[in-house]
Amino acid sequence: MDQIVEIPIEKIKVGEHEQRLYIDGEEIAGLAASIGRLGVLVPLIVEEEGDTFKLVSGHRRLLAATRVGLSNLPCIVKDRTKADSHEVTFAENFFRKDLSPVELAGALKDCLLKQTMTVTEIAAGFHKSEHWVNSMVAIADWPSDVLVAVHAKGISVSAAHNLALVTDEEYRVFLLGNAVNQGATARTTAAWLQAWQTMQPAVEAITAEPVPAGAPQVPLVPQAPCLCCSQLFEVNMMSHVPVCGACIQLLRTVGATGGGVTIQPTTET
């Protein structure tokens, strides 16, 4: 049986990839209250490194014990190979019921960046395809407002995927707010994405009909309306000139009314 030893809390250091991206304050507070009453019932697993100990398993317990103000923690000191440590840490980090898709994506990306594990090894650990791993890692690079909504369970990952492709921040924030309030599905946000790609105003985008089931979410070649005649063309068949947002709105208005306009250039003094 492994021997349990008391180790000063300041000598326990966080391991190379054990930290979680998002720590639930209420969860840690609840665990801290339990530890305050009963103590740490499950020993931490550590590895000796010189005069300190690297944490392999028990990150939440360490955080909660620190909050309570404990000076020593019960630990099991293991002499493991690096591969063994990875296996323990993998289970500790990734197979948690409360791990959100955002947390999982961040942890997987961190794992790959630090070259702790390869895509193939992670896929084998989850019994998933390498494509699944790469898709999850890509979530970590989504805009922060989309990640916050997904982490808070305000929108599904599939619905959020479409909004993450909207690069206009103001437009995306408007769509995201409506998606959370309406409980928008992936088919609905796919229609919104198409509306943005065809340069429709955001207030019109949210009235777009959901994309039919089985239909591609994004046109192979995005289309956009000509600002002069308002007809739709594939973007690779159109000319592009730098125009500010205010002038684009003016051109849209003129195109809708069939009138003419003269845009006076401004000069800096």
Per-residue pLDDT at 256: 57
User: How many residues are there in the chain?
Assistant: 269
Report the distance separating Cα 153 and Cα 160, nearest Å.
11
Confidence of residue 16 (pLDDT cuts 50, 70, 90): very low
> What residue segments make up the domains of the chain, in order of their start?
1-98, 100-141, 143-220, 224-261
DSSP label at 130?
A: H
Report the distance separating Cα 187 and Cα 158, nearest Å.
9
Task: Look up the pTM and report it.
Answer: 0.53
- pLDDT of residue 242 exceeding 90, the answer is no
Of 6-20, 28-42, 117-131, 149-163, the one with minimum mean pLDDT is: 6-20
Q: Work out the number of other CB atoms within 10 angstroms of the CB of residue 19.
A: 15
Q: What is the pLDDT of residues 194-218, one digit of tens each?
A: 888 887 887 887 787 776 665 544 4
Per-residue pLDDT at 159: 94
CB-based contact 27:20 (threshold 8 Å):
no
Per-residue pLDDT at 49: 85
Can you say whether residue 131 is alpha, beta or left, with left for phi > 0 and alpha for psi between -120 and 50 degrees?
A: alpha
- pLDDT of residue 226 exceeding 80, the answer is no
> Closest by alpha carbon to 139, among 127, 152, 148, 130?
148
Confidence of residue 18 (pLDDT cuts 50, 70, 90): very low
Amino acid at 72: N
| Most confident residue range from 7-11, 30-34, 124-128 | 7-11
Q: Which CATH class is domain 1-98?
A: alpha beta
Say which residues have a Cβ less than 8 Å from residue 123's Cβ, sequence separation at least 6.
Answer: 129, 130, 132, 133
Which whole number is the average pLDDT over 246-258?
65
> Closest by alpha carbon to 18, among 103, 80, 78?
103
